[in-house]
Structure 1
Amino acid sequence: MKLPSPELEASSSRTRTALLKRLADVVSLPGSRINAFERAMTADLLVDMLREAAPAERRKVAHRLAGLSEIPATLVRLLLRDEVEVAEELLVNAKSLSDADLLDCARMGRLEHRRLIALRREVSEVVSDGLIEAGEVLVLECLLRNEGARFSNAGVEAVVAIGRGDARLTRELLRRRELRPAHAYVLFWWADADARVLILQRFGVSRDILREATSDIFAIATEEGQIDELSARALGFIDPRQRRRDGLDGRPSLEAVVEAARGGLTSEVIEEIAYLSAVKVSTAAKVFADPGAEPAGILCKAVGLPKKALRTLWEGLGRGADERGLEQGLVAYDVVSVDRAQTMLRYWDWSMTSSLTPALLRAIGELGDDVREEYSVAKNTPNGAFTKAFGG
């Protein structure tokens, strides 16, 4: 086959360059100069040429089209699926891209395409959800830092689950206005010491307004004696009493059980602490299996135990030599009020039921890998304690 001469190639290149520019100019004409059908026809011809054009030529066309208020869909799809150097012209500069355009690019492009989408001035909840699906930490970090990005509730939950063990994502998540207490209390389990203090300070929630709104209902429940499970669960969350009454069923006081833990925090001691603190055994097991002392500090504050009880429990776990860990637990104890500690503890207890959404349940459930299997069965619920207190 006879190859074209260098002169012919140069001539064709000049022709192609001029033609590509002219077609892009026609596509860019205002609506007063060209109708929709003419624009679509020209766009189809331009797409056909761009498929065989050099990357530098495609990039020039993308740069020319980026400022349009409306870019033909066929051109958008072709250029956004192109190499990053080409797609970048639209992803960075084109304000007219729709959510559908960006989602198609996110799914068909590479990591760098998704990173550029995450950096756009505005990113909708729908597009954020699409980026989150890929689970790429670099993209998620850019998205979380972007103040113009919006997150759905499901999106925040997904990032909380994906970010387990990643300090960067944890820090960025704590800056987001979309983060809610339920998210933060799950995030707490894998946050570092500084992040845990921030969670306690920012997301500590008082139940005063709930108690004020339902104060008369407690009297009604006492009068009825037997109440349904749904009401018991809701009132159990609001009730300011966290621990069961001392001497209930002939059991020792919580203080006595904690003192007994000095010789070792056995499974029996953990079960007794859980029962007297009105939480599930699985919740107490998570608290004491945690490498930090903060969860134990929150439990102690919630049930009205003094700081020395936390020291005793820390020694019972065989961690008495870890003074730094204990100090972090004491900081958590001081930072949070009794009411807010109870709220957090009860949210943790909820995580053992269906009260949290599936994404958060999966995230927190994975933390139980190092907790003994016998604690995986939910029992000794605070609902039961509340029902029994009212004669149920």
Structure 2
Amino acid sequence: MTASAAPEPILPESDFAPDADGIGDIDETTELVFPARQTLLKRLSDVVCLPETRVNAFERAVTADLLVEMLREAQKGERLKVSRRLSRLSEVPHSLVRLLITDEPDIARCLIEDCDSLSDTDLLYCVRNGTAHHHRLLAQRKHIGPVICEAIADTGDAEAVESLLRNRQSTLSQAAIEVAVAMSQNEPGLVPLIIKRLELRPSSAYVMFWWSDADVRRTILSRFAVNREVMQDAAADVFAMAAKEGWNDALSRKALQFIERRQRNREAIKKSPFDSLEDAIKDAASRGMTRHTAEEISYMSGLKPSTGAKILRDRGGEGLAVLCKATGLKKADLRNLWRALRRPAEKDGDTHPDLARVLLAYDMLAVDRAQTVLRYWNWSLSSALTHVMIRAIARGESFDMDELSVPQRTAMLAFSQDLKA
């Protein structure tokens, strides 16, 4: 290219003509008009837009650097025109991208929404250096990968996370899903969006169960209450090996407790003042549920008292259906448990709607699938919740979530409101 030859325009001249495309918020009457500046900005943009056959990488980079310096002090309308022009390119210099993608939202929007050539490093730069408005624009971008989704979720902006969940062309990482689930505890509007995501896994669904409405709970129990046949077949001979070792290895013992078919704790039943789990529930139905009876029911059901208390306190009641189906209790026992908690069983001569809903949950569950849910709750809500964590949650202390295991994060979410109450 010679110094006297002006670059051939690659894109339409209309990019630098007065706005006619409806992109408002820029009052041209308040901006000074410098024809030479506008022409120079257009020409430099032309050079940046030239194909590799016309300009090499170094020339393009130097031109981009000069354009960046001009744009730093250019007027808003001028920056918008350059951003709009560059958004159509298959390759945009990073220096220009980083300047414009974190500019005012009206200017950044052109690149965020329309520029397909932006790299993940460009988008991450926007997440880290942009505003909440930028995050929300990014969350609506087509084809967002898991790394960017995770970075947007980590901003904690509920509107951006909602946009991510609504965006069917986004791919959420497990960490992003966990952030959304944690936020949904205080942002209930996120729950129906999360449950529709294909990336949602049982660990997150089981903890979200506790603050979900009846419809979402049914979805969780039908979609995520999986059986353990594969695990049971794989570990069939390990039970005898562990018994021969005297069950001395706590690590394998906990895992086998999750896998085994039997739910009720025979040793606890032998030591209990009640003859059976059914007898304990019947006694509670007549006398009322006491802390002692609740603990006995938990122990006989193969649960830790903290898990049992969580289920018995559950306002929706579907947790009771899971407990009863998993332990082989009948519908009559579920009704007794309902009465023991002094919940209304009838309304206008018919079964109370709340009890009817819980009975429906009981009917839809298979025993083995109910056991999977119940054991996951017990595993995550008891074994992972140490005394140190309990004190820390009660005091409102923060944790590095990346340092916590999945069950520890589950326990923190499920018990945080209970412990702070």
TM-score interval (norm. to shorter):
0.7 to 0.9
Structure-1 separation of matches of 2:238 and 2:265: 20
1:353 corresponds to which residue? 383
Deviation at 1:240, TM superposition (A): 0.9
- One-letter code of the match for 2:207? V
**Are 1:167 and 1:192, in contact at CA under 8 Å, matched by a contact in 2?**
no
Distance in 2, Cα, partners of 1:127 & 1:269: 50
2:349 is aligned with 1:313: no
Q: Which position in structure 2 is the counterpart of 1:366?
A: 416
Superposed CA deviations along residues 319-367 of structure 1, whole A, max 9, x for unmatched, are 2257222222112111111101110011101122236354333212314
Greater CA deviation, 355-364 or 123-132? 355-364
* In structure 2, C-alpha distance between the alignment counterparts of 1:370 and 1:267, rounded to whole Å: 20
Pairwise mapping of residues 241-320 of structure 1 onto structure 2 (< 5 A)? Answer: 241-245=262-266, 247-249=269-271, 251-252=273-274, 253-262=276-285, 263-320=287-344
Partner of residue 365, structure 2: 336
Aligned partners of 2:97 and 2:86: how far apart in 1?
9
Q: State whether structure 2 residue 160 is matched by structure 1 residue 139.
A: yes
Alignment of 1:25 with 2:25, yes or no, is: no
Cα offset for 1:303?
0.5
The within-5 A match list for 1:50-89 is 50-89=71-110
Taking the aligned partners of 1:257 and 1:10, their CA distance within structure 2 comes to 80
Letter in 2 for 1:333: Y
Q: Measure the CA separation in 2 of the matches of 1:258 and 1:85.
A: 63
Cα-Cα RMSD: 2.1
Match for 2:372: what amino acid? T
2:197 is the alignment partner of 1:176: yes
Q: Note if contact 2:41-2:67 (Cα within 8 Å) is conserved in structure 1.
A: yes
Deviation at 1:166, TM superposition (A): 3.0
% same residue: 46
Question: 1:246-266 deviations in whole A, cap 9, x for unaligned?
Answer: 851354211110011112111
User: Once structures 1 and 2 are overlaid, which stretch shifts more, 129-138 or 239-248?
Assistant: 239-248
Q: In structure 1, what residue type is equivalent to 2:252? A: S
Counterpart residue number, 1:152: 173
Answer whether contact 2:146 2:172 (CA < 8 A) is retained.
yes
In 1, the alpha carbon distance for the partners of 2:418 and 2:32 equals 70
Against the structure 1 CA distance between its residues 235 and 107, is the aligned structure 2 distance closer, same or farther, given a 3 Å change threshold? same
Which SS does the other structure have where 1:240 is aligned? coil
1:225 deviation in Å? 4.1
Q: CA separation of 1:60/1:227 partners in 2, compared to 1, >3 Å: closer, same or farther?
A: same
CA contact (8 A) 2:101 2:111 kept: yes
Looking at structure 1, the residues matched to 116 and 31 of structure 2 have their Cα atoms a distance apart, in angstroms, of: 36
1:221-236 matches, within 5 Å, as: 221-236=242-257
* Cα displacement (A) at 1:217: 2.5
Structure-2 separation of matches of 1:337 and 1:368: 29
For 2:211, the equivalent position in structure 1 comes to 190
Structure 2 Cα separation of the partners of residues 326 and 127 of structure 1? 44
Distance 1:223 1:32, change over 3 A: same
Unaligned runs of 5+ in 1: 1-8, 372-392
Name which of structure 1's ranges 98-107 and 81-90 shifts more when overlaid on structure 2. Answer: 98-107
CA deviation string 1:228-272 (max 9, x = no partner) = 212211111111110123851354211110011112111111100
Q: Is the 8 A contact 1:161 1:362 kept in 2?
A: no
Q: Residue 362 of structure 1 aligns to which amino acid in structure 2?
A: M
Measure the CA separation in 2 of the matches of 1:36 and 1:174: 47
- Deviation for aligned residue 1:83: 0.7
Whichever residue aligns with residue 229 of structure 1, its letter is A
Matched letter for residue 311 of structure 1: R
Separation (CA, whole Å) in 2 of partners of 1:315 and 1:361: 28
Comparing 238-247 with 77-86, which one deviates more in the overlay? 238-247
Equivalent of 1:206 in 227, 232, 255: 227
- Contact 1:128-1:143 at 8 Å conserved across structures: yes
Higher relative contact order (CA 8 A, sep 6+): 1
Which residue does the alignment assign to 2:8?
Answer: none
CA distance in 1, matches of 2:305, 2:414: 15
Match of 1:110 in 2: 131
Change (3 A) 1:367 1:337: farther
How far, CA to CA, are the matches of 1:237 and 1:364 in structure 2?
19
